Chains A and B, each alone.
Chain A
Amino acid sequence: AQKITQTQPGMFVQEKEAVTLDCTYDTSDPSYGLFWYKQPSSGEMIFLIYQGSYDQQNATEGRYSLNFQKARKSANLVISASQLGDSAMYFCAMRPDNTGGFKTIFGAGTRLFVKA
C-alpha cells in the first residue's frame, strides 16, 4: 500500500536557523515522484520541491533542499536560514508512476513555527 508518514505534528525553529522536516514513504512501485508543499494560514497549497525516484542528486530550490535516501525510503525537507514567513503547514507527498492512475497522496503534515 502507498503511504506517507510525517511523524512531527509540530516543529519550532529559531529565525535564521536551518530546520529538517521528516518524511518517510512506502511504495512498491519502482518509479515515483516525491513532493513537498507549503500551506500558509491563508490556506493555499504552494509547491516547493520535487524529487524523482531515479534522480541521483538531491533536489534543491533556493532555501529548500530535499534529503533523499532511497534505501531508507525517506525524503526529508531541509529549510535553510528560516524566515518568519516560513511559518506554515508543510506536506510531503508521493505519486507512484504507474498505469493504474497517477494520484498523489499526502502525509498528515508538519506545522512549522519560526520564532523571532
Chain B
Amino acid sequence: DSGVTQTPKHLITATGQRVTLRCSPRSGDLSVYWYQQSLDQGLQFLIQYYNGEERAKGNILERFSAQQFPDLHSELNLSSLELGDSALYFCASSSDNFSPLHFGNGTRLTVT
C-alpha cells in the first residue's frame, strides 16, 4: 500500500459530461502529481501541486483543471468529456522534489 488514496476506482460517463477525481496524498507529502495513462500515449504528466500551489504543468487540456486544498488533498476536474479521454488517471505524491513518486491505484475513466 503506497498510502496514496484515489477515488473512485472506476467511473463510467457519457461524452460531454464532467467528472471529478479525488486524491489524498501520503501523510506528510506536500506534492501531488496527476498523470494520464492511455494505451496509445503511455504515462503523460498532467500537473503538479506543491502545498496548494501549482508547480509544474504538462500536457493538460484546457478542459481539465486541478487544485490542491489546504488539507493537501487534490481534485482533478475533467469537463466536456470526449471518447479519447478514456484512460487510467493516476495521482502520485512525494515528500519532496527529490524523492520518488508514490502512486495511488488510479481511477479508470470510461467515456461512452
Contacts and interface: CB of A to CB of B under 8 A. Distances in A.
A28 B111 CA distance: 39
Given A43-B106, A45-B90, A50-B100, A103 B43 contact: no
B64 interface: no
Contacts of A108: 42
Give the dominant DSSP class at A's interface. strand
How many of chain A's residues touch chain B, expressed as a range? Answer: 20 to 34
B40 to A, nearest CB: 10
B100 A47 contact: yes
Interface string A81-109: 00000000001010101001111111111
A91 to B, nearest CB: 7
Nearest to B105: A44
A33 to B, nearest CB: 6
Contacts of A107: 42
B101 A101 contact: no
A43 B100 contact: no
B19 interface: no
Contacts, number: 56
How many of chain B's residues touch chain A, expressed as a range? Answer: 20 to 34
Contacts of B90: 45
B11 interface: no
A55 to B, nearest CB: 12
Interface in B43-78: 43, 45, 48, 55-58
16 contacts: A33-B98, A45-B106, A47-B2, A47-B100, A52-B98, A95-B97, A101-B55, A102-B56, A103-B33, A103-B45, A103-B48, A103-B56, A104-B45, A104-B101, A105-B45, A108-B42
Interface of B: 2, 31, 33, 42-43, 45, 48, 55-58, 88, 90, 92, 97-98, 100-103, 105-106, 108
Interface of A: 33, 35, 37, 43-47, 50, 52, 91, 93, 95, 97, 100-109
Given A101-B48, A109-B42, 9 more contacts: A33-B100, A43-B108, A45-B90, A45-B103, A47-B2, A47-B100, A97-B97, A101-B56, A103-B45
